[in-house]
Structure 1
Amino acid sequence: MASRFLLAAAGAVMLACCLQAAFVVLPGAQAPALRGARTQGDASFSSLGMTSVAATTAAFGVAAAVARSRKREAKTAAKYTTQTILPSLAWIKTGVKASELKNTELKALTLAGNDVLIGKTEAGALFCVGNLCPHIGTPMSEGADVIGDVIVCPLHGSSFKVTNGELIDWCVSPPIIGPLTGLIVEKKNLLVFECRQGGFLGSGEVEVLVDTNAKKAYEANYWKGLLDAQGKDDGTYY
């Protein structure tokens, strides 16, 4: 479409040039009739020149507007997907050595879009769990306690075993308020990630097994829900 307007603009320029050339008369070769009506001809020529310039400017303006429109369309092209994203597991290095972690110490990381929390139990066993509490998604790293092999959420006191994510207590604090907030969300276990120490005899940095497509899958599910809030008849999304 833009190329058609550009061709039209070029044609308008050529037409204007031809019209101007047709009205240019060389000195000494003027016909009597033209000499007699020189004033009127000059006025007509000037008017025609202004008209051709205006037409040329308008043609180029239209072509430029079309080009800008095409650029805007390219910038606002769809960037999302609603396809089903399958898991893709991979060992990701954390940049942290197990020897650098003290017992009960926690370190929050984001690995391939996954918010994880690596740490050690009181006995010194290495573990990796999801950093977001399954209650309302608050970061466990903001003050969580490690007691034995149990991690306690700092906000509402929910506790989970770091070995398998099993729920022990659900929203026990503060009194009354904690249990009430726990009623609005279904009880869930804490997400657990497999971890290991790389290098020779486990002397290297900690590695965590994560789904590298987790972020893409989350975004795809988000767009499915946003684009079709009604869903299918069976309650699922497209």
Structure 2
Amino acid sequence: MALEVAFLAPSVGVTARAPQVHTSAGPKSRTGFGVKMAAGACSVIAAAGLASSRKRSKTAARYTTQTILPSLAWIKSGVKASELQPTELRALTLAGNDVLIGKTEAGALFCVGNLCPHIGTPMSEGADVIGDVIVCPLHGSSFKVTNGELIDWCVSPPVIGPLTGLIVEKKNLLVFECRQGGFLGSGEVEVLVDTNAKKAYEANYWKGLLDAQGKDDGTYY
């Protein structure tokens, strides 16, 4: 009895011919054997291709702890002042800054930071505008929308609100300068923001993280 094995593996694909066993009764196919060899070769090639793909797609992460200076620019909000009703609020993210555009009860346009300086509650989630004052929906802190001046700090709910206010230093609300663009102020509302704010935040984050272990320049205290 003679055993003949034929196995072809060209560079583009894999082709396998089932080996045959010659007996007195004629050739008998050994299909299972051929399929196993072909499957094994395919697995090797697929693994090599996957490893090569992973190697090509790997990207080095880069971080910085350097001081990032502000870069102010007027950014269009996509909102027209004529679209806003008195006391209405619109939350936006402009160049990494979370802002809140709105109108006072008298219809004056304003733009403030959307996050309450207490614990970062979004003002857009139910804040009230009373006159020219905005009230945080969570603990009732209130601020002047014209200059961000703090009026009341964590006044609600009773007992719980004031207790939560004790753990955070009192702060004013961030205010952004805004204007109406276009001819005679008929265009979009434009907001003056720091386009480097996100980079500065990330740099301070990594600097603080490194300072927890040693100095951010690689030395130790």
- TM-score, normalization: structure 2? 0.71
| Secondary structure, counterpart of 1:134 in structure 2 | coil
| Secondary structure, counterpart of 2:163 in structure 1 | helix
The one-letter amino acid of 1:71's match is K
Equivalent residue number for residue 91 of structure 1: 74
Equivalent residue number for residue 198 of structure 2: 215
Deviations 1:24-61 (A, max 9, x none): xxxxxxxxxxxxxxxxxxxxxxxxxxxxxxxxxxxxxx
Question: Which has a greater percent of helix?
Answer: 1
Q: 1:189 aligns with which of 172, 177, 180?
A: 172
Aligned-partner Cα distance in 2 for 1:78–1:176: 46
What are structure 1's unaligned runs of at least 5 residues? 1-63, 233-238
Deviations 1:126-165 (A, max 9, x none): 0000000000001000000000000000000000000000
What are structure 2's unaligned runs of at least 5 residues? 1-47, 216-221
Q: 1:71 aligns with which of 55, 65, 80?
A: 55
Please state if 1:157 is matched with 2:128.
no
The one-letter amino acid of 1:122's match is E
Please state if 1:225 is matched with 2:208.
yes
Aligned-partner Cα distance in 1 for 2:189–2:155: 33
Q: 1:206 aligns with which of 178, 189, 193?
A: 189
Count, aligned residues = 170
Percent of aligned pairs sharing the same letter: 95
The one-letter amino acid of 1:159's match is S
Per-residue deviation, 1:230: 4.8
8 Å CA contact 1:129–1:165 kept in 2: the answer is: yes
Equivalent residue number for residue 44 of structure 2: none
Deviations 1:87-125 (A, max 9, x none): 000000001000000000000000000000000000000
The one-letter amino acid of 1:79's match is R
Please state if 1:117 is matched with 2:121.
no
- TM-score, normalization: structure 1? 0.67
| Secondary structure, counterpart of 2:202 in structure 1 | helix
Deviations 1:153-207 (A, max 9, x none): 0000000000000000000000000000000100000000000000011111100
Give the number of the structure whose alpha-carbon radius of gyration is greater: 1
Q: 1:176 aligns with which of 144, 149, 159?
A: 159
8 Å CA contact 1:225–1:231 kept in 2: the answer is: no
Q: CA RMSD in A?
A: 2.3
| Secondary structure, counterpart of 1:85 in structure 2 | coil
Segments ≥4 residues shifted beyond 2 Å: 74-78
Equivalent residue number for residue 219 of structure 2: none
The one-letter amino acid of 1:163's match is T
8 Å CA contact 1:167–1:188 kept in 2: the answer is: yes
Per-residue deviation, 1:78: 3.2
Per-residue deviation, 1:82: 1.1
Per-residue deviation, 1:76: 5.2
The one-letter amino acid of 1:105's match is E
Question: Which has a greater percent of strand?
Answer: 2
